[in-house]
Amino acid sequence: MTDRRIVALAGGVGGAKLADGLARVLGDRLVVVVNTGDDFEHLGLHISPDLDTVMYTLAGIADPERGWGIRDESWTFMEQVSRLGGPDWFRLGDRDIATHAIRTYRLRAGDTLTAVTADLCRSLGISSQLLPMSDQPVRTKVHSGGLTLPFQDYFVRLRCEIPVERLSFDGDAAAHLNPLVEAMRGAETPEAIIICPSNPYLSVDPILSVPAMRGWIKDTGAPVIAVSPIVGGTAIKGPAAKIMQELGVQPSVTSVAAHYRGLIDGLVIDTIDDVHVADIQAMGIATNVTGTVMRSIEDRKTLAQSCLTFLKTLGSGIR
Amino acid sequence: MTDRRIVALAGGVGGAKLADGLARVLGDRLVVVVNTGDDFEHLGLHISPDLDTVMYTLAGIADPERGWGIRDESWTFMEQVSRLGGPDWFRLGDRDIATHAIRTYRLRAGDTLTAVTADLCRSLGISSQLLPMSDQPVRTKVHSGGLTLPFQDYFVRLRCEIPVERLSFDGDAAAHLNPLVEAMRGAETPEAIIICPSNPYLSVDPILSVPAMRGWIKDTGAPVIAVSPIVGGTAIKGPAAKIMQELGVQPSVTSVAAHYRGLIDGLVIDTIDDVHVADIQAMGIATNVTGTVMRSIEDRKTLAQSCLTFLKTLGSGIR
């Protein structure tokens, strides 16, 4: 029974929902390391889609239907961009741009993404700690038919319509661990590490591509679990199942287990997938079968609690 | 009687109004060279206040009461910037930011301010040509009590409350003439040059500080007139009269004439100032006494026509 902190790794919507459930249970004991592989510059603004999704979700201002941006948003800026013949394929709401503008001018002034994110979170009343996976740029690229596409071109502009042959994370070799994760290394053992139900290829692999990240996770000795984003052979949201097929991998919880094999001690899967328990346990990975689809705030908290209970069975001293 | 083009030099609101009157009479025969000494970067965005004021005025979308920005503006972005603890001393409307964002990303991509301005004007249906005085940065600095302040800090943040001891235009020595003005040089004689009723110190001097600008104006041989921004010893809008006093100059049309002496052939002054005609003519500057206060669109056209008629008496072959 300790008050040690718990680290979650998260990408976009699904990851943000579980991170929110964990934040509601753990408050300032939660550290969320967020994917920045999707970050890009648009209209001169530095945009961090996953950081924003997690931040807006934990602040309770995320738009529940669109899956990105702020609720009750207005679009005056975007209308004027179209009128002026500017690029309007990536939509930015009037409130949302405030985040990007503040982030951009502070980064230009020499602040780190970690520092800017901390201040934005404080302004939004978030008590958990949100950390970009690295303060250096790591950029996810989609390789398809001889083309190399920046992530947003693939994801937003082409709506994931081309087949993914390979993914790479430009800049990964030169990136450093987030300085606050680096500070934890050796000095503090987290109680547990939870890989949220985000896309393993597009959201979690970029985080794991940062040198020393994978090693740090193993070296902590803390139990590590993942929550499968694949439920009943498909993804709740986003292109995870489609990409797995394109990469020649069967979209299933077993494939998710195989993907994280060697890194995780346990996998949380949905009740619909309980037929796969034996296959997963055969890999030396424990399983927790529960409802993993989060439709309400209550669902988020319930899944978070289920994860914490599961971690106790794996040796965590979580209170 | 020719179709040669007419060049106007303009800064903010007063200059924009006359530029609009001229544009309504001359259409694509009007070239407006605009002050960019007030340009600055804010929230990561490149803002060109005078270019925007002239552009919005000629497009018929300028806010008539505020004196800057777009009419029927909304302020959702600004509210969110305040909420996030960002700098909110310089207000940017939701529509207005579209201009700055498009300009910023295109400048970053290597386009010139001239090219970006031309495209924005085309999108807004402006047939006259708006040219930044230079594509290189020239930045107006206010010197006061040992301090050197960027223009917007003086103008917006400190509301002109400190006395101006001296002005300088950083970067002026390295700046080139706008390339389209450079292309006119030698190849085309404008019909006339009109200095709009903008602040002589803050708006017109920066334009004249660009190397070769003053020489080009003289070398064209075209008649040059100015319209006095000082009416009855005071400025219609803005700090021109206050600054003149701080610089030890009597705020009067005679002082305006003295300021432009050697550059202009004629000065347009308001009927209220007709007592100064003899003093101005004694400097070898012709005068045109007329109503110069522009309250309506009709006033703008009337003053523009009066300027063109005056120019004919100075040898211009304006149709």
| pLDDT tens-digit readout, A89-146 | 889 999 999 999 999 999 999 999 999 999 999 999 999 999 999 999 999 999 998 9
Q: What is the pLDDT of residue B238?
A: 84
Residue B1 pLDDT greater than 50, yes or no: no
Residue among A86, A105, A122 whose CB faces B43 most closely: A105
Q: Do A98 and B84 touch (CB under 8 A)?
A: yes
pLDDT score of A1 more than 60 = no
Q: Establish how many alpha carbons lie within 13 A of residue B108's alpha carbon, considering only the half-sphere containing its beta carbon.
A: 17
Average pLDDT over residues B197-216: 95
Cβ separation B44–A45 shorter than 8 A: yes
Whether the per-residue pLDDT at B2 is higher than 60: the answer is no
* Residues of chain B neighbouring A46 (CB-CB closer than 8 A): 44
Q: How far apart are the first and last CA of chain A?
A: 5
CB pairs under 8 A between A and B: 106
- The highest-level CATH class for domain A6-313 is alpha beta
Mutation site for A-interface testing, chosen from B42, B74, B80 by largest number of A Cβ within 10 Å: B80
Q: CB-CB: which of B45, B98, B119 is closest to A81?
A: B98
Q: Which residue has the tokens 């924003």?
A: A52
Using CB atoms, which residue from B76, B80, B108 is nearest to A44?
B108
Nearest to A83 among B44, B80, B123 (CB): B123
Tokens at A47, concatenated: 């945009």
The residue of chain B with its CA nearest to that of A96 is B77
pLDDT-derived band at A270, boundaries 50, 70, 90: very high
With CB atoms and an 8 Å threshold, state whether B101 touches A86: yes
Measured CA to CA, the distance from residue A32 to residue B44 in angstroms comes to 27
Chain A positions touching B97 (Cβ under 8 A) are: 77, 80, 97, 101
Determine which of A97, A122, A123 to mutate to test the interface with B (most B C-beta atoms within 10 Å): A97
Is pLDDT above 50 for B115?
A: yes
Q: Nearest CA of chain B to the CA of A173: how many Å? A: 27
Instruction: Give the integer Cα–Cα distance in Å for A96 and B77.
Output: 8
Of A128-132, A255-259, B170-174, B260-264, the poorest mean pLDDT is in: B170-174
Rounded Cα gap, residues B44 and B41, in angstroms: 6
Q: Mean pLDDT, chain B, as a whole number?
A: 94
Question: Hey, CA dihedral for A49, A53, A54, A55, is it positive or negative?
Answer: positive
Specify the amino acid at residue B87.
Answer: P
- Nearest neighbour of A84 by CB, restricted to B79, B104, B120: B120
> Is the CB of A42 less than 8 angstroms away from the CB of B97?
no
SS (H, E, C) chain A: CECCCEEEEECCHHHHHHHHHHHHHHHHHEEEEECCCCCEEECCEEECHHHHHHHHHHCCCECCCCCCCECCCCCHHHHHHHHCCCCCCCCCCHHHHHHHHHHHHHHHCCCCHHHHHHHHHHHCCCCCEEEECCCCCCEEEEEECCEEEEHHHHHHHCCCCCCCCEEEEECHHHCCCCHHHHHHCCCCCCCEEEECCCCHHHHHHHHHHCCCHHHHHHHCCCCEEEECCEECCEECCCCHHHHHHHCCCCCCHHHHHHHHCCCCCEEEEEHHHHHHHHHHHCCCCEEEEECCCCCCHHHHHHHHHHHHHHHHHCCCCEC
B190, B184 in Cβ contact below 8 A?
A: yes
* CA B169 to the chain's CA centroid: 15
Which residues of A make CB contacts under 8 Å with B? 41-46, 70, 74, 76-81, 83-86, 94-95, 97-99, 101-102, 104-105, 108, 119-120, 122-124
Question: With an 8 Å Cβ cutoff, are A81 and B74 in contact?
Answer: no
Q: What percent of chain B has pLDDT over 90?
A: 85
Rounded to a whole number of angstroms, the distance from the CA of B109 to the nearest CA of chain A is 9
Q: What is the mean pLDDT of residues B70-95?
A: 94
Over residues A77-85, the mean pLDDT reads: 95
Q: Residue A44 is nearest to which of B77, B81, B101, comparing CB atoms?
A: B101
pLDDT of residue A13: 87
Listed by start position, the domains of chain A span 6-313
Interface contact flag, A119 B85, Cβ < 8 Å? yes
Residue among B186, B185, B184, B254 at smallest CA distance from B226: B254
* Cross-strand pairs, A283: none
CA distances from A164 to A89, A139, A233 (A): 21, 16, 18
CB contact under 8 A, A102 and B84: yes
- Rounded to a whole number of angstroms, the distance from the CA of A269 to the nearest CA of chain B is 38
Average pLDDT, chain A: 94
Of residues A42, A80, A95, nearest to B76 (C-beta) = A95
* B193 vs B221: CA distance, rounded Å: 10
Please answer whether residues B240 and B256 qualify as being in contact, where contact means their C-beta atoms are separated by less than 8 angstroms: no
Question: Using one digit for the tens of pLDDT, what is the confidence trace for B21-46?
Answer: 999 999 999 999 999 999 999 998 99
Compare all CA atoms of chain A with the CA of B93 and give the residue at the minimum distance.
A77
Inter-chain CB proximity B104 and A77 less than 8 Å: no
Determine what percent of chain A is predicted with pLDDT higher than 90.
84
- Which chain B residue is nearest to residue A93, measuring alpha carbons? B77
Which among A74, A77, A104 has the least Cβ separation from residue B44? A104
Share of chain A above pLDDT 70, in %: 98
Q: Is residue B296 packed enough to be buried (19+ CB in 10 Å), middle (13-18) or exposed (0-12)?
A: exposed
Cα A152 to Cα A141: distance, rounded to the nearest angstrom:
9
Cβ(A223)–Cβ(A266) below 8 Å: yes
pLDDT in tens, B149-196: 998 889 888 888 999 999 999 998 999 999 999 999 878 899 999 999
Distance of residue B223 Cα from the nearest chain A Cα, in angstroms: 36
CB within 8 Å: B105 and A80: no
Contact flag B84-A99 (C-beta cutoff 8 Å): yes
Query: Side by side, which strands form the sheet with B192-195?
Result: B129-132, B30-34, B6-10, B192-195, B224-227, B266-270, B286-290
pLDDT in tens, B219-256: 999 999 999 999 999 988 888 899 999 999 999 999 99
Q: Which of A70, A81, A105 is nearest residue B102 as measured by Cβ atoms? A: A81
pLDDT band, very low/low/confident/very high, at A2 (cuts 50, 70, 90): low
CATH superfamily, domain at B6-61+114-313 = CofD-like domains (3.40.50.10680)
- Per-residue pLDDT, averaged over A284-308, amounts to 97
Task: Read off the amino acid at residue B172.
Answer: D
Beta-sheet pairing, B230-231 with B234-235: antiparallel
- Angle, helix B94-108 to helix B49-59, in steps of 10 degrees: 120
What's the CA gap between A24 and A274, in Å, rounded? 28
Q: Name, in order, each residue with C-beta under 8 angstroms of B306's C-beta and a sequence gap of 6 or more.
A: B268, B288, B290
pLDDT of residue A319: 61
Do residues B84 and A22 touch, judged by C-beta distance below 8 A?
no
Contacts of B217 (CB under 8 A, 6+ apart): B193, B224, B263
Task: Give the distance from residue A45's alpha carbon to the nearest chain B alpha carbon, in angstroms.
Answer: 7
Q: What is the mean pLDDT of residues A305-313?
A: 97
Q: Do A102 and B124 touch (CB under 8 A)?
A: no
pLDDT at residue number B270: 97
Mean pLDDT of B278-305: 97
- Residue B176 phi/psi, 5° resolution? -105, 155
Q: Are A138 and A170 in contact (CB under 8 A)?
A: yes
Q: What is the ipTM of this complex?
A: 0.86
Chain B neighbors of A108, CB-CB under 8 A: 41, 44
Nearest C-alpha in A relative to B98: A81
Question: In whole angstroms, what is the distance from residue A91 CA to residue A145 CA?
Answer: 27
Q: Which residue of A has its CA nearest to B117?
A: A84
